[in-house]
Structure 1
Amino acid sequence: MGILDGKRLLVTGVITESSIAFAVARLAQEQGAEVVLTGFGRLSLVRRVAAKLPKPAPVVELDVADPEQLAALADGVREHVDGLDGVLHSIGFAPASCLGGGFLEAPWEDVATAVQVSTYSLKSLAVAALPLMSEGSSLLGLTFDATVAWPAYDWMGVAKAGLESASRYLARELGPRKIRVNLIAAGPIRTMAAKSIPGFSQFEDAWNGRAPLGWDNTNAEPVARTAVAMLSDWLPSTTGEIVHVDGGFHAMGV
């Protein structure tokens, strides 16, 4: 038996096999969950990746900035499962001007895009999925520790700070419905999205020798294991929390 036996999960953000979301979806299936994915843009690519899971997963189109697609999400998911016990928010995007050292020059229009897709989308996804979520469900998101300023991360760091705050407010709003809302603050993983950040190597260099447990930036398994645990019934009274999965880096000084 797996700790997710009988659970129905919606997993966003699967782009390639190196995606953290893919690692979560794979392990969730291995632990007994029925998984539905969402995809944006190149759906054929997402479907090819979905076919590489232990059990090929259906893909529902979702652009979190499109009100019509958000409104249609519940019906699209219902074509595959009759409800949801967990949702993984693994969505983030910032235009090039918002990353790489141009913090003072990035225009509001680009910053607004970063905030809408990377921050506000947690609330948008929660509201869209709410008709399907049962008591005891879990909404889980991914962040990159926003308590400090990082080189080159710029407005995405600000968006992640907003995401962390939004998760606490959602925990407050959804708690009476017995829905948990938490985040995982993951260390740097070499996903396609991460490699698109100018100066990403500076993140990797920072972890070398400082994370007391060590850190393998090519292995999303530790993050996936934590995600599966948090999507299970084993943390029934944990909400509004940010769990660090970074080898202990966040707790160390120089």
Structure 2
Amino acid sequence: MALLDGKTVLVTGVLTEGSIAFHVARLAQLEGAQVVLSSFGRQARLTAAIAKRLPTEAPVVQLDVTDDDDLAALAERVGEHADHLDGVVHSIGFAPQSVMGGNFLAGEWPDVATAMQISAFSLKSLAVAARPLLRHGGSIVGLTFDASFAWPVYDWMGVAKAAFESTARYLARDLGPDGVRVNLVSAGPIRTTAAKSIPGFEVMEGGWPERAPLGWDVSDPVPTARAVAALLSDWFPATTGEIVHVDGGVHAMGQ
């Protein structure tokens, strides 16, 4: 029996074959899940093209997590392809470059607010929108970058990730009675499209493989995707509000 046999999973954030979300969707299908993707705007065409490269082409539903109408329509749109969800993967993040790359002190509220809404508040928005489909309980898994530290160049995105991690804990509290688990995977630096948009990203990844007891491949998203798939499964029935580090062990090491 495969890890996710019989489960239906919504995966956000699939844009390229190098994205963590793509590999989550791929592994979920290989482990027996039915996968539905979400995208929006001009990105939807890219997602639809990438969906054809999965083991089984996945349907794509419209979802802009900052659009109230899209959020309200999510259950109906997913319902065209599946009558319920067992899992939701949050792989969404954005901050204007004006609030990253050494611009922490110069960051202004409108741009910071954009980062906070898309990168943190969207976890709550997505969870609430998907809640009617999680009728039998299930698992929500998000992707983070350890917000315990002030990373070089990450700036207000780091603050947004701290809010994201806190949001996951409060969701774990409020959705637990529904049988819904909420956990995060904190990945080490991976050269995804999103990462490449961070000014000075090479500073963040610099030296990571040397500091990781297990080593670290910045071009390999599969270990992170495997952790997400595991958390979507029934193998963690009593785990919620947790952050699982998939970073080669760097989080546990001193400088």
* TM-score above 0.5: yes
Partners of 2:109 and 2:204 lie apart in 1 by 26
Task: Name whichever of 142-151 and 195-204 sits farther off.
Answer: 195-204
Partners of 1:54 and 1:166 lie apart in 2 by 33
Q: Please give the per-residue CA displacement for 1:37-62, whole angstroms capped at 9, x wherever unaligned.
A: 00122211110001100000000011
Match of 1:25 in 2: 25
Match of 1:44 in 2: 45
Whether the 8 Å CA contact 1:92–1:118 is kept in 2: the answer is yes
1:89 paired with 2:90, answer yes
Query: How high is the sequence identity, in percent, across the aligned residues?
Result: 66
1:208 paired with 2:205, answer no
Match of 1:176 in 2: 177
Whether the 8 Å CA contact 2:142–2:184 is kept in 1: the answer is yes
Question: What TM-score do you get using the length of structure 1 for normalisation?
Answer: 0.99
Match of 1:236 in 2: 237
Question: Secondary structure in 1 aligned to 2:163?
Answer: helix
Q: Please give the per-residue CA displacement for 1:67-100, whole angstroms capped at 9, x wherever unaligned.
A: 0000011100000011000000000000111111
> What amino acid is the match of 2:15?
I
Q: What is the RMSD computed on CA atoms of the aligned residues?
A: 0.7
Partners of 1:92 and 1:48 lie apart in 2 by 21
Instruction: Extract unaligned runs of 5+ from structure 2.
Output: none
Match of 1:55 in 2: 56
Partners of 2:181 and 2:57 lie apart in 1 by 28
> What amino acid is the match of 2:25?
A
Offset of residue 243 of structure 1: 0.3
Question: What TM-score do you get using the length of structure 2 for normalisation?
Answer: 0.98
Match of 1:108 in 2: 109
Task: Name whichever of 201-210 and 135-144 sits farther off.
Answer: 201-210
Instruction: Extract unaligned runs of 5+ from structure 1.
Output: none
Aligned residues: 254
> What amino acid is the match of 1:136?
G
Q: What are the within-5 Å matches in structure 2 for residues 116-135 of structure 1? A: 116-135=117-136
Question: Secondary structure in 1 aligned to 2:212?
Answer: coil
1:199 paired with 2:197, answer no
